């Protein structure tokens, strides 16, 4: 070990993060050395605060520092629609569109036999509990457009059938700004299947 011990420890901490190898970890640690002390302290506080002050919303299971979360507290939203997503990040992506004004439900994953994730690992019981509220009329399944997401959407659509709700799935098709030439066959097939009259 050629690095002084405090530096070696920080490099080790950085290199435990996903996608950060030992070289990048070294570069980041050296950057921290050159940072202002107050910024480093803010960084350290932010790390611990994320762990200590965030938990899951008791309604939608999103991560939040209030309970219920700000979205579930917002009474101006449309209570008739719940959009089911896999991860808190997906919620942020949806909110960015500014097109959806209902509530969310975060599953925290998708069914994946390969990774040993079954329906029991997801926040499905919390979802079912919310569906017994008579206000809810539509469930939008916005899980990812991949095998796991599709399997989860399929599973959920069958599971909630007794509730007699409208269950919809977000559309598949070509990404806007994309190029037909570079679209893979499956996406193109889905785009064709989902074509609409203009």
- Point out which residues bind its own copies (CB under 8 A): 2-7, 9-10, 12-13, 16-20, 24, 26-33, 35, 37, 39-54, 63-66, 69-70, 87-89, 91-92, 95-96
Residue 102 C-beta: closest distance to its own copies, Å: 15
Considering beta carbons, is residue 96 or 196 the nearer one to its own copies? 96
Residue 194 C-beta: closest distance to its own copies, Å: 28
Residue 38 C-beta: closest distance to its own copies, Å: 10
Q: Is 187 exposed, middle or buried (0-12, 13-18, 19+ CB in 10 A)?
A: middle
Closest CA to 110 of 68, 80, 148: 148
Over the Cα atoms of the chain, what is R_g?
Answer: 22
Considering beta carbons, is residue 6 or 178 the nearer one to its own copies? 6
Residue 72 C-beta: closest distance to its own copies, Å: 12
Scanning 54-159, the segments in alpha helix (DSSP H) are 70-73, 88-97, 124-131, 147-159
Distance, C-alpha 86 to centroid of its chain? 5
Considering beta carbons, is residue 6 or 194 the nearer one to its own copies? 6
Token look-up 């790390």 returns 47
């Amino acid at each position: 070990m050629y690095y002084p011990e405090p530096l070696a420890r920080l490099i080790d901490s950085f290199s435990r993060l996903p996608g950060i190898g030992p070289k990048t970890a070294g570069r980041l640690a050296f950057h921290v050395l050159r940072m202002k002390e107050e910024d480093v302290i803010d960084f350290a506080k932010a790390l611990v605060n994320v762990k200590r002050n965030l938990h899951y919303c008791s309604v939608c299971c999103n991560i939040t520092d209030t309970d219920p979360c700000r979205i579930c507290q917002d009474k101006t939203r449309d209570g008739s629609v719940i959009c089911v997503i896999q991860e808190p990040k997906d919620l942020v992506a949806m909110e960015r569109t500014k097109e959806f004004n209902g509530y969310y439900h975060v599953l925290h994953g998708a069914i994946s036999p390969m990774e040993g994730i079954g329906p029991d690992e997801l926040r499905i019981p919390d979802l079912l509990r919310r569906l017994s509220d008579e206000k809810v009329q539509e469930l939008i399944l916005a899980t990812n457009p991949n095998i796991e997401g599709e399997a989860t959407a399929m599973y959920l659509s069958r599971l909630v059938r007794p509730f007699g709700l409208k269950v919809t799935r977000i559309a598949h098709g070509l990404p806007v700004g994309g190029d037909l030439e570079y679209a893979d066959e499956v996406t193109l097939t889905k785009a064709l299947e989902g074509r609409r009259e203009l």
